[in-house]
Every structure is written in structure tokens, then in C-alpha cells.
Amino acid sequence: MATVTASTPRALPTGLLKHRAVHKLLLIALAAAVLVPLANARWASGSWPAALTVDLTKPLTSASDWIINNRDSHPLFLYFFGYVSNAVVISVHAVYVVLLGAGWAGVTALGALVAWRVAGVRLALGTTAAFLACGLLGMWVPTMQTLALMVVAVLASVVVGVLLGLAAGLSRRMDKILRPVLDTMQVMPAYAYLLPVVLVFGMGVPAAVLATVVYAAPPMARLTALGLQGADKEVLEAVESLGTTARQRLLTARIPLARKELMLGLNQTIMMALSMAVIASVIGAAGLGDRVYQALASVDVGAALAAGIPIVLLAVVLDRVTGAAGDGTEGQGRAGWAYALAGTVVVAVAGRLLGRLDWPDAWTLNIAEPVNRAVDWMTAHLYSGVPVVGGTADWAGHFTTWVLDPVRTGLQGLPWWSVLLIVATLAWLIGTWRTALTAVLAMAAIGVLGVWTPALDTLSQVLAAVAVTLVLGFATAVAAARSDRVERLLRPVLDVFQTMPQFVYLIPVVALFGVGRAPAAAAAVVYALPAVVRITTQGLRQVDPAAMESSRSLGATSWQQLRQVQLPLARPALLLAVNQGVVLVLAVVVIGGLVGGGALGYDTVFGLAQGDLATGLVAGAAIVCLGLVLDRVTQPTERRTGKGA
């Protein structure tokens, strides 16, 4: 009962916590003492009281019916969404036709030459190898479908992002309005964006492209604004002192000075667009993601891997090439680009003349069967009964029964008001009363939406996965921070893992652990781990060397150093790592609905698959709320104020 909060202040030695924290706790305890008996008397129930839910199924179903019925007649659709939708379809199709028209040789040559101009010979070779591998795996056409969708989505995202970023970077007021919106969009799981666009556009390419734009434009906008605001004040002053007009300042100074951020924004937008373009297969985008989706649906790991490898290759190549464009010096003259273009045209024409536009069937390598044989072998030999260590399926089973189930039962067993109380306490202790209020309202909204039980199920998976992520992540990070060798070994691994789209992580975990909640959690751990390790390592390494040196000179052991100097000084980084870990884990746990994760993620997929948009939308909204709660509960105040400055 109220012990959760009442006992906390007593248990804490007063000297340990700052006075303010105790103050907050007392206030919350006081509020709880008044509100809890009231709430308990009125709506005494363990789960969220039915009296406090609002059933949105009917209005949502009728809204979606109305949209479906009016899609072809209502002026809003005819003259706005219709045009948007047509424009998207036409442009994606046009890009697709051009890519196919250039033939596999032309596209490969174009990719390689662009990589050569931007990033040098090594990446050009890597790009060639990646494209050829896509062909070899028999995935040329899906790769081109994904690329066509990406090209359109990235262009649109960049335009939208730059415009928003310019507005926020140049006007203080716009910045104030846009910043919290973009901040929040950044922490939303990709999954949550799918349903609203489906509601308006229906399943298909337009919805996929628009969901991608909505997901991928925020980083461009944020980084554009950041670059514009971060410009060297004295350079701007010097430029102004020479009598520039506002436009000249923007074009000759502010935008060039923000080049690094703009390129980083482009890089992030491309990576997020790829990630989303793959996930959008759930709402009818053809391409690589669709192949993975279909294969996972029938637990055909071999086929999923054949489509998954091109995704990973595409991700790595795109990331490296755009990343190199960011740090490299500017283009070394136009002649090189002209050669590159000419080379592409020559190769494309040659391919056409030779009648070799499509990837030759004879050159494909069927990896699905051998992989599936290997998986079968694994199922037979590694799943269970391996002496001493047990099998992978056993691990998954143990994890489910010993960790996931108790956490879920515990969470669902908690009285609903105590969950709110815990959320409020955590959010207030770590942030301001405003973050606490947002968190509590978001949590309550989940209850009101009537998805309290599945949401707590999702939450239990998130908590378990976050705990595993943090233990593994902090341990790895401490090792990497203490030894250069470990860090050198780790860096390329982290680089690759961080560029991969969320979807891809499902393939190996299904192979290893089958389907269910444990593999979903495992995929989430793998996805979130690199970010946690990286942020923590950086935080530990950036600890003031003078402080480290002075503690060493006092004769501290390395354990004392870690505990008394490094960890306390790296606290902001650790908190950020927790925050990122939670946000990333949630993003994958809900996708885990595809491989038997159940709960909110499954409701969303189910809603999409059955055309039952009401269920899906409610689940999507609950995911958004859960994302808000988790972000606010783990978001230290410093980060907010730091950004506001």
C-alpha cells in the first residue's frame, strides 16, 4: 500500500540525499496520504478501474470508416491528401524506373563513383561489393524498391527538416515552439508513426513514405537549428561589421558555418529513413523490409537473412559515405564529378546495349536453404539439452519464467494508483514538477485508453531488457574506458551495430531463441547496447584527467578511482545512457510484437493486419504515452536546461 512512498524517506539517511530531494519526497508522501485513500475508496481495484476508461473503439472505428468511405469523394482528400498521395506514388515510381533503367551495372557504378568522389577509393570498393552482394543474394529488385522509396523520403525529409530547422535556427520564438515537439518526436518509437498515416492514406507506398518522412525529418530539423545557433558569434559579428544584408549573412556565413551539422543531419536522416523504410513494410511498402517481414511471419530465418544482409550492407555503406561527406574537405573540383557522371552513363549504356539490365538469375546464390539447414541443426542441437550450459531455448525459457513473468506479475499486481505514484516520484526526483506532471498524465492516459494490462506487459519487457542492457553496457563500458585495447576492438563492432535498422535485429534472435517475449527482449538489448556502451565509455573517458591524477597521487586503488572519481564525475553521461537505453529498448520491444512479443506491439500489428484501426491506434497511442513516461522518468533536468540555453 502506501508503504512504497512512506517508507522511502525514513529509510534514507538524511545526509546522503540533498535537502531538495527529501523535500520533494515528503511533499509526494503528503499528497499520496491524501489522494490514495480517496482513490482507493472510490475505485478499489488492482488494475486500472474500468470506470475511468474511455472506450475509443467506436469513435475511432467510425472515424476510420468515414475516411475510407470519403477517401474518393471528400474535397479534403480529393484536393490535398489525394495530390500528396499521387505525387508520392509518381515520384517513387519514377525513381524506381530510373534505377531499373540504369541496370544493375549502372546503379553499382553510380554508387561506387559517388562514394569515390565523396569518400575515397576504399569506400568505393566497399560500395561496389555491397551492391554486388545484394544482387548475388537475389535481392536486386527489392533493394531497388527500398532505394527508390528512400530517395523520395530522404529528399522530402531534408526539405521539410531544413525548412523547420531554418525557422527554429533564425527565430527564437519558433525555436521555443518547435524544440519540445522535435525533442518528443525523437524519443517516439518508429512504430507509433505508422498508424496515423495509415488512417489517412491507407496501406501502401504513400503511407510508408510519409511515415518515413515524419520519422526522419526531425533530426535534420534539430541539427539544422543547432548548426545555425551554434555559429561562431564573432564570425557573424565580423560579417555584420562589413555591412552584409540579412540574406548575405545567411547564405555566405550562417549556412556554410553550419555545414558540419547539416551533413550530420543528412547522415542521421538517411539512417533513420532506412530504418523506417524497412519497418514500413508492415504498412505495405514493398522491398527488403517486406521480404524480412514475410519471412519472419513464417519463421523462415534463411529467407529473412537473405533480405536482412542487403539491409545491413546498405546501412553501413550509406552511413560511411555520408559520414565521410561530413568530415571531408569540400569537393575537390567539378572535374571529378563530371568524370563520375560520365562513367555512370557509359556503364549504364553499355549494360543496356548488352541487354544486361536485370541481375542475371544464374549469378544468384541461394543462401536461404543452407541457412535454414543450419538453423534446423541449431534447433536440434543447441536449443536445449546442451550439457552444463543448457540450450538457447532453455535460456529464453528461464529468462521468461524467472525474470519476465515475475516482473510482469509484479507490475500488474500493483494497485493502479501506486504505479502512478512511483512514476510521479521518479520523474520528480530526477526532473522538475513539470516532467513529473507530463509523466503522470501520460501514464494515466494509458489507463484511460483501456490498455493498462498490455501496457504493463510491455513495460515489464522494457524493464527487464533495460536492466540486462545496463548491466552488460556498464560492465563493457568500464572495461573499454580502462583499456585502450578493448576500446579499439569494440569500436568497429559498435559502429556497425549502431547503423543497423531495428528490424534487422529480429532475425538472429528468432534463429537463436525462437519466438516469444524473451527474443523480443533480447533484440532490444542488442539494439540498445551499443549506444549505452558508447555514451558511458565517452563519459568515463572524459572525466577530468587532473581529478584522476590527483586521486592516483593520493594512492587510490583503481577500484577506488572508479567508484569515487570516475563514476560520480561521469554521472551526467550515465544518466544519459540510461535514458537512451530506455528509449531504444522500447522502440524494439514494441517491434517485437512481430515475433511473439505480444502486448502493445502485437495489438498494433494486429490492428494493421486485420484492418482494425481502432485497436491499432489505441495501442499506438499507448506506445507514445509509454515512451513519454519512460523518457521523462529517466531524463535528468540538466539535459533540459542545457538545451534551453
Partner 1 sequence: MTTTATLENPPTTDNPVFSVDGLWKVFGPKADRVPEDAELSALDPADLRARTGCTAAVRDVSFDVRKGEVFVVMGLSGSGKSTLVRCLTRLIEPTAGTICIDGEDVRAMDKARLRELRRHRAAMVFQHFGLLPHRTVLDNVAYGLEIQGMGKAERRARAAEVVTKVGLEGMEQRKPSQLSGGQQQRVGLARALAVDPQVLLFDEPFSALDPLIRRDMQEEVVRLHREEGRTMVFITHDLSEALKLGDRIALMRDGKVVQLGTPEEIVGSPADGYVREFVRDVPREHVMTVRRAMKPGDCAGPAHPGGLAPDAVVADAIKVVAGSGRPACVVENGRCLGVVDHERLLGVVAGTELRGGAAGTEPRKEAV
Give contact residues for partner 1 (rule: CB under 8 A): 232, 234-235, 237-245, 248, 252-253, 256-257, 259, 330
Do residues 448 and 54 touch, judged by C-beta distance below 8 A?
Answer: yes
Do residues 169 and 231 touch, judged by C-beta distance below 8 A?
Answer: no
Residue 606 CA to residue 591 CA, distance in Å, equals 12
Nearest to 12 by CA among 348, 429, 357, 336: 429
Q: Minimum CB separation from partner 1 for residue 254, in Å? A: 11
Nearest to 523 by CA among 308, 284, 273, 287: 308
Of 58 and 247, which has the nearer Cβ to partner 1?
247
Q: Minimum CB separation from partner 1 for residue 223, in Å? A: 17
Amino acid letter for position 576: L
Q: Minimum CB separation from partner 1 for residue 233, in Å? A: 9
Do residues 627 and 187 touch, judged by C-beta distance below 8 A?
Answer: yes
Q: Minimum CB separation from partner 1 for residue 331, in Å? A: 12
Q: Which long-range contacts (CB under 8 A, 24 or more apart) does 127-136 make?
A: 127/317, 127/321, 130/310, 130/313, 130/314, 130/316, 130/317, 131/104, 131/107, 132/108, 133/309, 133/310, 133/313, 134/310, 134/313, 134/314, 135/104, 135/359, 135/363, 135/364, 136/363, 136/364, 136/365
Give the total residue count for the chain: 645
Q: Minimum CB separation from partner 1 for residue 241, in Å? A: 4
Cell 554521472, located at residue? 571
Of 234 and 361, which has the nearer Cβ to partner 1?
234
Would you call 15 helix, strand, or coil by DSSP? Answer: coil
Residue 560 CA to residue 551 CA, distance in Å, equals 9
Q: Minimum CB separation from partner 1 for residue 238, in Å? A: 3
Of 257 and 512, which has the nearer Cβ to partner 1?
257
Of 243 and 355, which has the nearer Cβ to partner 1?
243
Residue 605 CA to residue 625 CA, distance in Å, equals 18
Q: In Å, how far are 137, 193, 272, 475, 627 from 277, measured between CA atoms? A: 20, 12, 8, 34, 21
Cell 539491409, located at residue? 311
Q: Minimum CB separation from partner 1 for residue 207, in Å? A: 40
Of 328 and 390, which has the nearer Cβ to partner 1?
328
261-284 burial string, b = 16+ CB within 10 Å, else e? bbbbbbbbbbbbbbbbbbbbbbbb
Of 242 and 546, which has the nearer Cβ to partner 1?
242
Of 97 and 238, which has the nearer Cβ to partner 1?
238
Of 239 and 467, which has the nearer Cβ to partner 1?
239
Q: Minimum CB separation from partner 1 for residue 259, in Å? A: 7
Residue 426 CA to residue 265 CA, distance in Å, equals 33
Do residues 282 and 605 touch, judged by C-beta distance below 8 A?
Answer: yes
Would you call 306 helix, strand, or coil by DSSP? Answer: helix
Q: Minimum CB separation from partner 1 for residue 257, in Å? A: 7
Of 55 and 232, which has the nearer Cβ to partner 1?
232
Q: Minimum CB separation from partner 1 for residue 415, in Å? A: 50
Of 232 and 376, which has the nearer Cβ to partner 1?
232
Q: Minimum CB separation from partner 1 for residue 327, in Å? A: 13
Reading the block at residue 452, the C-alpha cell is 493498462
Of 49 and 328, which has the nearer Cβ to partner 1?
328
Of 243 and 387, which has the nearer Cβ to partner 1?
243
Q: Minimum CB separation from partner 1 for residue 243, in Å? A: 3
Amino acid letter for position 344: T
Q: Minimum CB separation from partner 1 for residue 247, in Å? A: 10
Residue 280 CA to residue 268 CA, distance in Å, equals 18
Do residues 523 and 509 touch, judged by C-beta distance below 8 A?
Answer: yes
Amino acid letter for position 174: M
**DSSP summary character for residue 403:** I
Task: Report the 3 state secondary structure along 120-188.
Answer: CHHHHHHHHHHHHHHHHCCCHHHHHHHHHHHHHHHHHHHHHHHHHHHHHHHCHHHHHHHHHHHHHHHHC
Of 45 and 252, which has the nearer Cβ to partner 1?
252
**DSSP summary character for residue 575:** H
